[in-house]
A and B are shown apart, each in its own frame.
Chain A
Amino acid sequence: MTTGSFLLDVAPARYLRRIGGAFSVGALALLAAGCEAGVLGPADSAAADIWVGWDRQSDPSVAEYVVYVGTDPDEPQDAVVVEAPTDSVTIRGLEQGRYYVAVSAVSARGVEGPLSEQVSVDVQ
């Protein structure tokens, strides 16, 4: 497993919450434990970043957003959780390919709303 090839950055600067341990998905890999806010490790020079933004919800019960990312349009493999009212995240270190992104909101009681429309992006 290659660690540190997948980076996250949050705007505005707020922390993300850890929701898992170390794992790898295809060419992507990371080690969740011990990462600093916004940076998981050195980026692969051949990789690219994507910025994901969405409309911030006015509902005060929304505590988090979950950004699903993956190369399979039917089942995004990875999820990034950001704390509301954050409304964007930068995901670094993506290798070449088509990625599918969708976002959901999660209430303070942990209830997840429906997924947004799926958006695809080609990373060259």
Chain B
Amino acid sequence: MLEVIEKGIEKIAAAPPCVRRRDGTDAGRRVVVSTVVLGMALLGTAIPRIGALALSAQETPPTTIEPGSSWVDPEHGHRIFRLTGSGATHAYSYWTALNADNSMLFGYTGEPTLWDVEFRDTTVAVTNQRPAFSGGVQLYWEGFFWSRSNPDEGWGTLSTTSNSRLYRYDMATQTPTLIKDFDADSRFSSMFGSGVYLWQLQTGHLQERFAASVRNSSGTVVGVVVWDRTTDDLWTYETPAGEAIDEAHVSNHERYVYIILEGRQSQILDLSDGSLSPILDRSAGHPDMLDTEAIHAGDNGALGYSLVSPYDTRTIFDWPDRTVPGNEHTSTIRHGWIYSSVYGTDGTRDVIYRVRPDGTEWEILARHFSHTGSYSHIPFGAVTYDGQYVVFNSDWGGGQVDIYAVRAGEGEDIPAQVTGVEVKVQN
């Protein structure tokens, strides 16, 4: 399902009936702006909440949430559910922990783990904990992508240090399907040789083009491979001598790949012609993608980096107080919002927030109450495909890390799923 960002809803009063394609190449930002403008127009005024940033340092959580129960943060008004109770984490902000209909949770308990999930008004049933991959094919936990359209399916790379394979995996039936053996493709092997493996799979909204880091047997990222499952087109990028690759991201409509290099200018690979362009040096943290823009949110605010004009950048919003060092962030983008989970070294920004892509409106959803003393305690807020929940890790004041979800839809007008669809042929 496409997001509002891509929908391109231009409000033209009494306009005639028309139809549009879903894959307009540059609709993203233009549409977002029009959507926000619409909201402002309908409401009379925008609802900028910038200014209410006098966050005090995070204290001990006022309550413990039992597994399966919830609590409404009185400060921010959103309901927080605790999904696990015996220690678990989810992967990262790019990889939604919940599947397309929020009925399955994918996480990690020392091994890739799956749960059945049923959200209710104030409780959540999380049952049937089991290994995520029970058959002979094990996929990497990090980099597993749920399908946006099929709740049972996802994509992942083979968990190995010697083979480069991409699978589609039916989680309901535990059936893996090999869709690409890169080792058998000379375009891949001629660049990277044998004995390499794939890491940190990424894809866009179409889920047709996949990008992954390529690691050698010692774990060094030697490049990036991009593959189109519909055309079998394949692109490779070799790590420049003396450089290191962090990760590669695919833009929403899968034209651009943002290759993040450590210690030098990152690169934009335009898949339409295979050209490379340097992008303005990024801020700290990890981005998520719009159609023609990479968003770095959380590190002292939110910044947009153009993929089309790679030296163009814009400030989406700033935290007023920039005195707190050491913030990290993650960000994800759904339904006209950029979501980010952040933490500061003094605890003053340990929140999950969202901001409109044009910066006109933002909201703190919740404090995550995670004391981020170690990497696994970072919340890695990941918004679900339908925009209803942001799943995050938290030690909830310094204890065991478990998986939580804040209901982003509460207080927000996300319509319910349409039912009763019927189609009849006439004539």
Contacts and interface: CB of A to CB of B under 8 A. Distances in A.
A120 B95 CA distance: 30
A117 B415 contact: no
Given A65-B418, A111-B413, A23 B21 contact: yes
Contacts of A106: 4, 7, 9, 415
Interface in B138-179: 149
B63 interface: no
Nearest to B34: A110
Interface residues of A, number: 70
Leading 5 A-B pairs by shortest Cβ distance: A20-B20, A16-B17, A113-B415, A55-B420, A110-B35
B12 to A, nearest CB: 5
Q: How large is the interface on B (under 10, 10 to 19, 20 to 34, 35 or more residues)?
A: 35 or more
Contact of A68 (B4, B22, B416, B419): B22
Given A107-B413, A111-B412, A18 B15 contact: yes
Interface string A72-97: 00111111110000000010000000
Given A19-B9, A104-B1, A107-B415, A54 B421 contact: yes
B414 A38 contact: no
B107 interface: no
A116 B419 contact: yes
Nearest to B39: A109
Interface in A9-41: 10, 15-21, 23, 25, 30, 32-38, 40
A108 B39 contact: yes
A123 B304 CA distance: 45
Contacts of B426: 48-51, 90
A119 interface: yes
B54 interface: no
B322 interface: no
